[in-house]
Structures are given as structure tokens and as C-alpha cells.
A and B are shown apart, each in its own frame.
Chain A
Amino acid sequence: MKNFITNFILLACISCGLLISPEANAQLTDGVFRAAGTPANPKVDATWNHYYNYKGISELTKELANTHPDLIKRTSIGKSYEGRDIWLLTVTNFNEGDADRKPAMYIDGNIHSNEIQGTEMSLYTAWYLAEMFGSNDFINQLLTEKTFYIVPTINPDARENFFNEPNTASSPRSGMKPIDNDGDFMVNEDKYDDLNGDGSINMMRRKNPRGQFVENDTYPELMERVGPDEFGEYELLGYEGLDNDGDGRINEDGEGYYDPNRDWGWKWQPNYIQGGAHKYPFSLPENRAVMEFVMEHPNIGAAQSYHNSGGMILRGPGAEEDLRTYNRQDVRVYDALGEMGERVIPGYRYLVVYKDLYSVFGGELDWFYGSRGIFTFTNELWTSFEMFNSNDRSREDSYEFNKYLLFNDALVEWEPYNHPQYGEIEIGGTEKNFGRAHPGFLLEHAAHRNMAFTIYHAYSTPNLVIDEISEKDLGGGLKEVTAVVTNTRMIPTHASQDLKYNIMPPDYISIEGADVEAGMIVTNRDMGHTVEQKNNPQKIAVDNIPGMGSVTVRWIISEGRNYTVTVDSKKGGLVHKRK
């Protein structure tokens, strides 16, 4: 593991330092001096200290594709519930190889609509890869070997809702399909109400000498519970809202609700077992579009889904009932990737969903791995660590951070309001863009680090090399041809889940241009152990080419000199070598 990391970093360093292309040598361009590791003079002048709405995403992705036609193609994988295109950026060196046959990394963001910054992580990744290509040998090699499929938002409707409509930092989370949440045969009849008109949903409090809360001495927006033998000055009344439908309850049936991350087909369970599940797996059009895309792209061997928050690098299983799905060989690969993630994203912890977070059925990462055998992580972006680069945390941290780093930009000061149900109250707290989303000045920082993790992940997908083709004359006009194929990266062509259920076809190693009399897999070359393949011997099926491992196959041929050996692996790509 250590060696491998060193090699990876070394390669990256060599690319930047020694093998720099002439174009990038001119470090002083148009009034700026090049900072290491950042595109010196990007053709697309994107900035990363704000959030893109749907118009912004559409324009930026279009501009990226137009500006870098040999590196980025933009397509729509389908329409959202409200009819928005779900944009996909395919990022690779289109001048070499077939994009859909290269081992690929899939990335998406924003499945939970309020968890907005996954979109910026995704967009930054596409932008960075394209802008660095040509000036960095590592990125050149990466985009020549690999394909990135990047879907910046897979919940565009509710992302718009988060921005444009009054929300908390945690709403809507759902998509926009209306649901009867309280069982009264009406949908979305009692949403939040933006009573103070600031675009965010804040807290409501009421002065009450018998209340349980007081203001924090330093940060009055922070309400603190008094001791068990004390009275405070206020009572808390929940999120800003009215009883819109006159049923005696407030905010009980807002946007949604279903959880798009409980809608995936591996070990899916209905809503009475798994809250947030909808009708059946992929009953939401956005997820269905992703599923269909992934089904049609068996070259995807790695995937990343961005969420917030908490600073976590999560892998499955999501539910304890699914523990046995993840076996030791695959966990070893996950661990190696996850530990690198902890290294490159300080403050983030590599965790397992069911035991370190909560048990959940029907999550996206479980479907990617359980149903498709794809090594998948979910990163929970933003952690309080990022405020003062410290794990020493207190409730006051975010208020202190807001005051001294954001100059109270996220503060909503308490203001009086005459509420039809509660009477004289006060409304205040923090803005919806604070608490879960990154503040602007840390957004590019997070994007780069998380991208670096996904690049390492993508780099680790299979890379197949035909190490050897050798011949031995058997006499009587027969020759023995032995070929050795090595996977020089960590991820196998078939995850153990894939091997267990034959999700993908086997890898085929075939010989063309020779008359094949027999074919076999060599299980122990030194001792001469082989397993013959009786049918179609010219096309040997091997179950797997393990990470950092080799397979050896052999043919007995009667005719042929200038033959070609081809490795055809769904997740490992297509490789030819001529004898």
C-alpha cells in the first residue's frame, strides 16, 4: 500500500515538475504567475466560490464542451420530474481510444437537493481535468487511459427549489414530486412559510418566563437549554411557518417527501421498513436515468456520489442484513482507497454506512456495488473540522466561525413577528447556505481535495497489459503460445460480488490469425497445471484479472505467425498485442 501511494504521488510529481509541456512553461501569463497544481490560464474562466443554479450548470457545461471538444462531451441522460435535462459530461481524451471502452469512473452530486456542493465538486473535476490536459503528463495519461462520466446534479428540480424557495439548510432533500406526507388525502398543503421574507426558513421563538431556553451570551442566535432546575426566557416553536390548511399543525406537509437515496435497487425495502422509499426501485425519473446509463456502460468500475455533511468517506454495506455482500478481497481494496481519502482530505473519516452512520436500504452506493460490482464511495462534504482545522468542537464553533470568518454574513437577527397562531414571536437564526454547504472561500479547496480522491480512485481501476506472448515448438507442426495478461492497478476486473453472481461476462483473451487446436488457462505455469477450455478454444474466458495480478493462458496452434492477442474486458478495457 505504502509503495503504491508513493508511486502514485511520485508519478504525479514527475508530471508536474519534470515533464512539463512547453505551453505550460510560460508561467507568467496575462498578469499572473502560475500556482502549482492549478490551471495556469484556463480557457473556461470558471470560479469556484459560489453555487451554480440550473441555468449556471447548463451554461458552464455547454461552454466546457464547446471549448474542449476533444476532451468533454455533454449529453442529457434523461429528464427530471419537472422536465429538466440531466446533464452528463463525458471527460476523456477522445482522440485516443473509444471513451465507452476505457475503464471509467462515474461521479454525481446533489442527489439530496439541499446537499448542493456535490455539483461544484463534479463541475470542478470536469473543468480541472480539461484545463490541465496538455500541460500535465499525469492528467494526459489519466484521460488517455480512463473515462470520467460526471453528472453534476441528479436532482436538478429540487436544487432550484432549494435556491429559489424558502428552505432550511436541510430541505427539501426530496425531489419535487408532490406526496401526501400526513395521510390527509392532500399533497403539499402545508409548506414552510418565509415569514420574515429573507429566503431562508429560520427558527421561531417566543418570550416566555416559563420557557426552557436562553440566548447564548456571546452569540444570541444560538439558543441554549437551561438546567433541569431552571426556567429560561424563551420557548422554541420550530421552523418558520403557519398552519396553512387549518388542521391544527404547522409545516406538516411540505415539498416531497421521499428520499431519492432510498430508491435504488439493491436490497430495496418499502417505506414501512425504510422511511423515504418510494414505490419501487428507480421509480424516480432522475435515478432511473442514472441506472439506465450505468447499465449501458459496463466499463464503469468506480463511482463517487457526493452528499453533505459530516466529513465522511462512506462505503457500504448500507444495512447490516447485507454484511455478507462485502467480502475480504474487496474490502481490502476499499480500505486502501478510503485510507488515501483520509490522507488527501484532512478531517474526513473513512467509514462504513451501516455501522458508523445508520442502517439504510436502497442507497445509491449499495446498488452500484451490490448490483453492478462497482467500487463506490459516498463523500459527505463539509465538516466542522474545516472551520478551524481542529477536531476540538463545541456548539459555539459555527457561530464564532460565522462571526470572525464570514463577518456574520449567515446571521439572521431575531426580529419580531405577529403570528396568527402563536401571537407575538421572534424569527431568527442562520441562512440556509450555512451549516451544511461550504462557505465560498473553502469551496474550491474542498473541490480540489475531493477531486484528488476521485482521481486516485479512477486511476486504480483496472489497467490491462499483455506482458508476454511466448512460443514453444511442440514438434509435428504444433506450437504452444503462452500469453500473460497483468492488471497493473488495484481494482480487479470483477469485484467479488461480480464473481459471485456473474454480473459481467468473463474477460475474454483471444488469439486471431492462428489455427487454434486447443486452448487452456494456465493455473500454475511452473508445475504445468492447466485447465482446458473445450469449446471456442481461440477465445479463452477468464473469470477475473485481479488487481495487481496476472493471468496466463495458452493455445496449441498448428498454423500462424503474425497473430494478435486481444484482451476484451468490460471493466478492464480492450487491449491488443501483435506477436
Chain B
Amino acid sequence: MKKVLPPCCVMLMALGLFISSSALAQSSYSNFDQLTDRLEKLESDYRNLAELTSLDKTLDGREIWVLTIGKGDVEDHPAIAVVGGAKGSHIYGSELAITFAEKLLGNSDSQEIQDLLASTTFYVFPRINPDATEEYFASLKYERDANSHPTNDDRDDVSSEDHFDDLNNDRLITLFRVEDETGKWMIHPDEERLLKKADISKGEKGTHHVYTEGQDNDGDGAFNEDPKGGVNINKNFTYDYPYFEPGAGENMASQIETRAVLDFLYEEVSNVFSVVSFGPSNNLSSAIRFNRAGVSKRVITGWYKEDVSVNELVSEKYNEITKLKDAPGNSGQKGDFFQWAYFHYGRYSFVTPGWAIPEVKDEDDKPRKFNNDEAHFLAWADQTDLDVFVEWEEVEHPDFPGKKVEVGGIKPYVLYTPPYRFVDSLAQSHTDFIVELAGMKPDVQLVNLTIEDAGENLSRITVDVYNNGVLPTASRLGERNSWVKKVNINLTLSDGLHLLSGDIHDIVRSIEGDGSVKKSWLVRGKGSFTITAGSPNSGFSTVEQTIR
């Protein structure tokens, strides 16, 4: 808390004093009102390129924003959805999303970005679980992933009856440990500030019980088992939904936030070819591995081989640009947004936490190895002079009279939230990556149009429907999924022309990158014709010709 307040004040002052300066740089993470100001400013600064839409309001009254960036017929240009904050405590992901929008638009007078926005659309959802994310700014901090929907996580007959309690009055919810020979935890041998589960098979014995900071408010023998709120939006999507787990909600897609995002992506737009989200999982530092068994059953649980290849290519680009190849891979969590976007939405779905704990060097300037992320993090924080730990301090705990109870641990949020001064360069590299991905978009073109004389008053029209992009016009999974639009090819003839052979209308499931489909028609007579090919997610191409 002590650490956070001053930067906030600084930022408010900055907004007050330098609001007109377009070069204004953020100096701290944004609460919801600040996020909204930034989005509104983008809309008003870039009227022809950006449009801000509220999809719905949360229970606490915050909008689920989507910023549409693009030019012209934005709904007919292939699009990338950029999504932050499905995991509410991951405010850094939300910051990456909004900063991406700022950097992209801030660069929109360059020829490269002008060309990009004339043919590509971006839907930026900067914070899809805003009620949870707002907890970052609360005076009493705990890592909150759940919205404000009342839940009954312990499934008794009362809701939210056992919340966290700040036992040491530092306004941070950390841990408390109780010295007790029946406990299963012991002091970590590599890092004495941390605890680890004792492993009796290695002769280790537990010395402590460990709980999240709090009391047994409802006297049921459990600590903080039914905290305030809510449903974790990143557990409420429809793929591999964790039924009956705390935070999952009573039904999949039961939440306003979840449905706002789903309804927009399913019904309002159909041009999305790829989804990039920022969250706890990661298929960008290292790609999903192909697993044949996962795609050989009715309810598939793995990526198709063709889609894994695309993931590998995109991951390679990501690592070249961001240099984050050492961030741990993670193929997804139950009910999360990232897996939904592939398995149920059928789009190329990419996710990254957007940050990895930087390397820590030993005395010989060699990278130190850690077998525990938290130990790695603490070593890095020490080296970087960051205050991320609440030292263990003895307190009186009403539920443990006569026992030695200490409160302490890693502060909430710090593990996944880099200090703000690191954000700008990370956001720049992620912007560069998304622009690179946009450059790989499927791009349907009609090429090699020929009209040949095929006999008395007969002509043969041929054309190649060519995918000028790197990515296929539909993912392999998308080929099966009716929510993914397929390439339609239509021929329209003027009055003097009559079709003798060939399809007036055809649908092609997918055209691979740099691939093509040849179409041919036999017509009789004279007149003009139009051929249109494409789909919203791969672009449209039209040719017109006259046979004289």
C-alpha cells in the first residue's frame, strides 16, 4: 500500500497538468476510471480509426469495453481480438491490451500502420473482468479473480460468510503460519522466507500449518473458505468447464462478463481470424504440442496437427520479437478464455502472461537455476531492490490460542505484475508482435482471371482463388465449426450471359497460406460477369469483366 499510493497521486497530477500533451506516458497501472479515460481519449483522438463500445455493465456497474480499431468496412476485414483481464488479478495483461491500442493508434500516421488498418481490424477488450481487477486499487489488497456475483463457494446455506482478515494491519492479505508438529509445511531449504510441503519420502517432516491470512469468521473450522464474490471469468467459459469448483459459477457462461464477450464475438462480428489474450497461460513462448490421442476422439482435447504448425510458426515470431522464450509454457486452465477461443470458437488462439521473471546471475555472472518460481522471483526482487515481501511477524490469533502464529509472505499481485517502469518496453514488443501476426492474416485474392474462346458463342472463364496470406483461411478446427465463416465464391452474370457449366455458388472450407483453388465456368453469349470470393475472416476480392 505504501508503495502504491504515491505513483497514483503522481499520475493524477500528471493527468491534471499535462492532459493536453499527447506524449503523456502512463506512470502506473490504471483503475477502471482511468482505463475508461484512456479509451475515450483514443476514440476522440482517432475518430476515423477507433470506436469504443460498451458491451454490457457488470454487477458493480462497470462497462465491458471493446475498442474497434480499423478503417473502412471494418467488419469485412480479417480481425484480431486482443483480450486482457479475463483473470481479474492479472492487471498487467489488461495494461498490455490498452497500451497495444495506444501504441498502434499512436503510430497510425506511418504508412505501414495506415496500410494495416485499411485491411485489418482489431477488437481490443482491455479488461473483461473489471470488478475483480479493481481490487488492485482497494485499500485492503488481495488477489481477486472473481467478479461480484454472489456465490456460495463452500456450498452451505450462507453466501460469502468467511472473507479474508488483515491480521497484522498492513492492508495486504498474505499468509499466516502456525508452528505445529502436525502441520504439513516446512521452511524452504533454499529460501528461508518461503515454505514448502514436507516430503516424508525424503525424510522431511512438517513443522507448520499454512493458511491465507484470516480468521474462521463463521466458526466452521475452515479459513476464508467462502470469500466475497464471485465468479472467476477465466473459469466460466465453455471448454473444459470446471463444474462445481469454487469460482466457476453455477453454469458455464453464466456471467454477464462472459456472455458479453461471447455474444459480441459470435453474433456481432464474424471476421476474427485470431485471438491474442494476456493471462496466466502461455502458448507463445513455447507452442502447444501435438497429441494424436487428443484429436482422435469425439470431444477433442488437443490441437489439430495443422494448427499446431501455425502455433509453432507464430511462437517463433513471438520469441524473436519479445525475447520471452523462457517464460514457462502452460497449455491452459479449465474453463479459461484462451482454450475456448481455440476449441469452441475455432480461431487461432494465442495467450501469454507477457512477462517472465528476468534472469538472476550468480557471482560468476552465470544464470542462476531455481527449482521454485517464488524463490527465483525473490532473488530477482532482491537484486532489483523491490519491496515484494512481508516479513514474517508474530501475531495473536484468536483461533490458535497459545500457538506461535506468524503473518507474512509474498505481497499480493507482485508475482505477476511487473513494476510499471518495465511496462512500456514490454508493451512495445507485444505491439510489434501483434502487428507481425496481423501481417500473416489470411488474404483471399482472385488472380489469373482468363476468358478463353470455347467454341461458337461459348467462353470459358477461369480464375484462381488465392490465399495471399501466411495463415489458412480457417483453422483446421474452424473448418469443422459453423461459427467460422468459409470462403464463398459467387458468380453473377448479366442478362446476355448464360451458365452452361460450373457452380454459380460454391463454398471452400479452407485455403492454406499461399494456396489456391481453381474455378472454371462455361458460359454462352455476351455480357458482363462478376466473381466475388472471400469471407469476413479472410477478406473479400472481386473481379468484373465483359465478354464482347
Residue of A183, A270, A283, A535 near B485 (CB, 8 A) is: A183
B482 at the interface (CB under 8 A from A): yes
Whether B238 and A270, one on each chain, are in contact in the complex, defined by CB atoms closer than 8 angstroms, is yes
Residue A126 at the chain B interface, CB threshold 8 Å: no
Instruction: Find out whether the CB atom of B262 lies under 8 angstroms from the CB atom of A279.
Output: yes
Docked CA distance A283–B238 (Å): 12
A389 → chain B closest CB, angstroms:
40
Query: Would B486 and A183 count as touching, CB distance under 8 A?
Result: yes
Q: Does B253 contact A (CB under 8 A)?
A: yes
Those of B233-247 within 8 Å (CB) of chain A: 238, 241, 243-244
A58 to B152, CA, bound (A): 38
The residue that A280 contacts in the complex, of B259, B481, B482, B505, with Cβ under 8 A, is: B259
> A248 contacts the other chain (Cβ, under 8 Å)?
yes
B18 beta carbon closer than 8 Å to chain A: no
Find out whether the CB atom of B344 lies under 8 angstroms from the CB atom of A270: yes
The answer to whether A505 touches B505, judged by C-beta atoms less than 8 angstroms apart, is: no
Please tell me if A44 contacts chain B, counting CB pairs below 8 Å.
Answer: no
What distance in Å separates the Cβ of B400 from its nearest Cβ neighbour in chain A? 16
Cβ of A365 to closest chain B Cβ, rounded Å: 16
- Check B482–A183 contact: CB distance below 8 A: yes
- Residue B483, interface by CB 8 Å: yes
Q: Cβ of B488 and Cβ of A183 under 8 Å apart?
A: yes
Partner of B482, one of A268, A272, A282: A272
Nearest Cβ distance between residue A101 and chain B, in whole angstroms?
14
Q: Which residues of B contact A268 (CB under 8 A)?
A: 238, 241, 252
Q: In whole Å, how far is B143's beta carbon from the nearest beta carbon of chain A?
A: 25
Q: Do B507 and A273 touch (CB < 8 A)?
A: no
Bound-complex Cα distance A98 to B277 (A) = 49
Residues of chain A within 8 A of B486, CB atoms compared: 183
Indicate if B456 sits at the interface (CB-CB under 8 A). Answer: no
Q: Do A246 and B482 touch (CB < 8 A)?
A: no
Q: Is B157 an interface residue (CB 8 A)?
A: yes
Determine whether the beta carbon of B157 is less than 8 Å from that of A508. Answer: yes
Is A269 interfacial (CB 8 A cutoff)? yes
> Which residues of the partner chain A approach B155 to less than 8 Å between Cβ atoms?
502-503, 505
- In the complex, A270→B344 CA distance in Å? 6
Whether A273 touches B505, Cβ cut-off 8 Å, given contacts A281-B251, A501-B244, A502-B244, is: no
Residues of B251-287 whose CB lies within 8 A of A: 251-254, 259, 262-263, 266-267
Contact string, B106-138, partner A, CB cutoff 8 A, digits 1/0? 000000000000000000000000000000000
Name which of A246, A281, A291, A508 has the most chain B CB atoms within 10 A of its CB.
A281
A180 to chain B: closest residue by CB: B482
- A247-280: contact bitstring with B at CB < 8 Å (1 yes, 0 no)? 1100000000000000001001111110000011
Chain A residues with CB under 8 Å of B485's CB are 183, 185
Q: A502-B244, A503-B244 are in contact. Are A295 and B250 (CB under 8 A)?
A: yes
Residues from chain B with a CB closer than 8 A to the CB of A502 are: 155, 244
Asked whether B170 is an interface residue with its Cβ less than 8 Å from the other chain, the reply is: no
Given A184-B488, A502-B244, check contact A535 B504 (CB 8 Å). no
A-B contact count (CB 8 A): 87
Q: In chain A, what residue has the closest Cβ to B536?
A: A185
Q: Closest residue to A280 on the B side, CB-wise?
A: B253
Instruction: Write out, one digit per residue, whether chain A residues 502-515 have a CB within 8 A of any chain B CB (1) or not (0).
Output: 11011010000000
Cα of A535 to Cα of B481 in the assembled complex, Å: 52
Give which listed residue, B220, B267, B477, contacts A279 with CB less than 8 A.
Answer: B267
**CB <8 Å contact, A273 and B483:** no
With A184-B507, A280-B262: A271-B482 Cβ-Cβ less than 8 Å: yes
Residues A248 and B251 in contact, CB atoms below 8 Å apart:
no
Q: Cβ of B298 < 8 Å from any Cβ of A?
A: yes
B503 contacts the other chain (CB 8 A): yes
Q: B495 near A: Cβ within 8 Å?
A: no
- When chains A and B are docked, how far (Å) is the Cα of A270 from the Cα of B221? 41
B219: contacting residue among A281, A501, A535, CB under 8 A? A535
Chain A residue with Cβ nearest B482: A271
Contact among B152, B238, B480 with A281 in the assembled complex (CB-CB below 8 Å): B238
Give the contacting residue for A185; candidates B262, B346, B488; CB below 8 A: B488
0/1 string, B130-161, CB within 8 A of A gives 1: 00000000000000000000001001110000
The residues of A that contact B152 with a CB separation of less than 8 Å are: 505
B263 touches A279 (CB 8 A): yes
The answer to whether A273 touches B504 (Cβ under 8 A) is no
Q: Contact mask A229-252 → B, CB, 8 Å, 1/0?
A: 000000000000000001110000
Which of B252, B253, B259, B505 interacts with A247 by CB under 8 Å? B505
Q: A295–B150 Cα gap in the complex (Å)?
A: 14
> Is B262 within 8 A of A536, CB to CB?
no
Interfacial chain A residues near B507, Cβ < 8 Å: 182-184
**Docked pose: A295 CA to B149 CA in angstroms:** 15
Interface residues of A in 357-372 (CB under 8 A from B): 371
> In the bound complex, how far is the Cα of B157 from the Cα of A162, in angstroms?
44
Question: Across the interface, do B299 and A321 meet the contact criterion of CB distance under 8 Å?
Answer: yes
In Å, the complex CA distance between A291 and B253 comes to 13
What does the 1/0 interface line of B334-373 toward A look like (CB < 8 Å)? 0000000001101000000000000000000000000000
Docked CA distance A279–B156 (Å):
32
- Minimal beta-carbon separation of B252 from chain A (angstroms): 6
B245's closest neighbor in chain A, by CB? A501
Give chain A interface residues in 540-575, CB to chain B under 8 Å: 541
Give 1 or 0 for each of A166-197: 1 = CB within 8 Å of chain B CB.
Answer: 00000000000000001111000000000000
Contact: A247 with B504, CB < 8 Å?
A: yes
- Bound together, the chains give a CA A271 to CA B238 distance in angstroms of 12
Q: Which residues of B contact A185 (CB under 8 A)?
A: 485, 488, 535
The answer to whether A291 touches B251, judged by C-beta atoms less than 8 angstroms apart, is yes
Is A534 an interface residue, CB under 8 A from the partner? yes
Q: Which residue of chain B lies nearest to A271 when distances are taken between CB atoms in the complex?
A: B482
Given known A-B contacts A271-B482, A502-B244, A371 and B238 have beta carbons under 8 A apart: no
Cα(A183)–Cα(B157), bound, Å: 48
Residues of A within 8 A of B504 (CB): 246-248
A272–B481 contact, CB under 8 A? yes
List which A175-232 residues lie within 8 A (CB) of chain B. 182-185
Contacts of B238 in A (CB 8 A): 268, 270, 280-281
Look across to chain B and name the residue whose beta carbon is closest to the beta carbon of A249. Answer: B505
Measured CB to CB, the closest approach of chain A to B297, in angstroms, equals 9
Whether A271 touches B252, Cβ cut-off 8 Å, given contacts A321-B298, A502-B155, is: no
Complex contacts, A534 vs chain B, CB 8 Å: 221
User: By the criterion CB–CB under 8 Å, are A248 and B505 in contact?
Assistant: yes
Residue of B nearest to A184 (CB): B488
Nearest Cβ on chain A to B4's Cβ, whole angstroms = 37
Docked complex: B479-493 residues within 8 A CB-CB of A: 480-483, 485-486, 488
A185 vs B535: C-alpha distance when bound (angstroms):
9
CA distance A269 to B481 in the complex (A): 12
Instruction: Fill in one digit per residue for B292-322: 1 if any A CB lies within 8 Å of its CB, else 0.
Output: 0000001110000000000000000000000
User: Are A501 and B243 also in contact (CB < 8 A) when A273-B298, A280-B238 are?
Assistant: yes
**Given A273-B299, A502-B155, A535-B220, CB of A265 within 8 Å of CB of B251:** yes
A78 to chain B, nearest CB (A): 15
Chain B contacts of A269 at CB under 8 A?
Answer: 299
B residues contacting A by CB (< 8 A) are 152, 155-157, 219-221, 238, 241, 243-244, 250-254, 259, 262-263, 266-267, 298-300, 343-344, 346, 477, 480-483, 485-486, 488, 503-505, 507, 535
Given A272-B480, A273-B299, A281-B253, 15 further pairs, Cβ under 8 A: A184-B505, A265-B251, A265-B253, A270-B344, A272-B477, A279-B483, A280-B252, A280-B253, A280-B259, A503-B155, A503-B244, A506-B156, A535-B219, A535-B220, A536-B219
28 A–B contacts, CB within 8 A, in A order: A182-B507, A183-B486, A183-B488, A183-B507, A248-B503, A265-B251, A270-B238, A270-B481, A271-B482, A272-B346, A272-B477, A272-B481, A273-B299, A279-B262, A279-B263, A280-B238, A280-B259, A280-B344, A281-B252, A291-B251, A295-B250, A321-B298, A371-B243, A502-B244, A503-B244, A506-B156, A535-B220, A535-B221
The 9 closest A-B CB pairs, nearest first, are A280-B253, A272-B480, A502-B155, A501-B244, A505-B157, A265-B251, A247-B505, A272-B481, A279-B266
